[in-house]
C-alpha cells in the first residue's frame, strides 16, 4: 500500500488503540466515540471481536465513506457501485458461513482481494485533483 492510500485508509484497530491507550483527550472523547461508532459500527472497546476479514470489510467501508465525505461520489461512481456489490456478497457470505469458514473460503478470499483493490482505486481517484476521466 503506498503512502497516499495508507494515509487515507481507515484502520479500526489503530483507531481503537488510541482510545485504549487514553490518547483521546477527555474534552473530545464523547464526539470521537460517536465518530468511531459511525465509521466502524462498534464501540472502540468492542472493536476487534469479529474475524479478521470482517474487520477488513468494515475498514474498507469506512475508508470509502471517509473519502466520499471530502470529494463526493461523482469521480468514482462506477467503482463505488462495483465495490458495493462486492461488499453485499461478502456480507451474505459472512452471514451464511461460520467464522472459520468465512476466513478460509476461496470465494471470500477472491472477493476480499477485489474489495481491497476497488477501495484503493476509489481512494486514488477521489483524492486526485481531476478525478478519473
Write down the pTM of the prediction: 0.80
Answer whether residue 133 is part of any domain.
no
Contact present, 65 and 39 (Cβ < 8 Å):
yes
Question: When comparing pLDDT for 131 and 101, which is higher?
Answer: 101
Query: Residue 105: is its pLDDT beyond 50?
Result: yes
Q: How many domains does the chain have?
A: 1
Answer whether residue 21 is part of any domain.
yes
pLDDT 10s digits, 1-51? 555 556 668 889 999 999 999 999 999 999 999 999 999 988 999 888 888
Q: Looking at beta carbons, which pairs linking 30-33 to residues 24 or more positions away fall under 8 Å?
A: none
Residue 3's pLDDT is 57
What range does the domain containing 34 cover?
Answer: 3-127
Residue 91's pLDDT is 94
The DSSP string of 37-72 is HHHHSS-GGGTT-S-HHHHHHHHHHHHHHHHHHHH-
Amino acid at each position: 500500500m503506498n503512502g497516499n492510500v495508507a494515509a487515507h485508509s481507515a484502520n479500526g484497530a489503530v483507531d481503537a488503540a488510541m482510545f485504549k491507550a487514553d490518547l483521546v483527550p477527555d474534552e473530545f472523547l464523547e464526539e470521537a466515540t460517536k465518530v468511531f461508532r459511525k465509521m466502524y459500527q462498534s464501540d472502540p472497546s468492542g472493536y476487534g471481536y469479529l474475524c479478521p476479514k470482517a474487520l477488513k470489510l468494515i475498514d474498507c467501508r469506512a475508508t470509502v465513506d471517509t473519502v466520499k465525505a471530502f470529494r463526493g461520489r461523482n469521480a468514482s461512481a462506477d467503482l463505488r457501485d462495483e465495490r458495493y456489490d462486492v461488499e453485499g456478497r461478502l456480507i451474505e457470505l459472512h452471514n451464511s458461513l461460520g467464522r472459520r469458514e468465512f476466513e478460509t473460503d476461496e470465494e471470500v478470499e477472491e472477493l476480499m482481494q477485489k474489495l481491497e483493490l476497488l477501495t484503493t482505486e476509489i481512494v486514488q481517484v477521489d483524492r486526485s485533483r481531476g478525478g478519473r476521466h
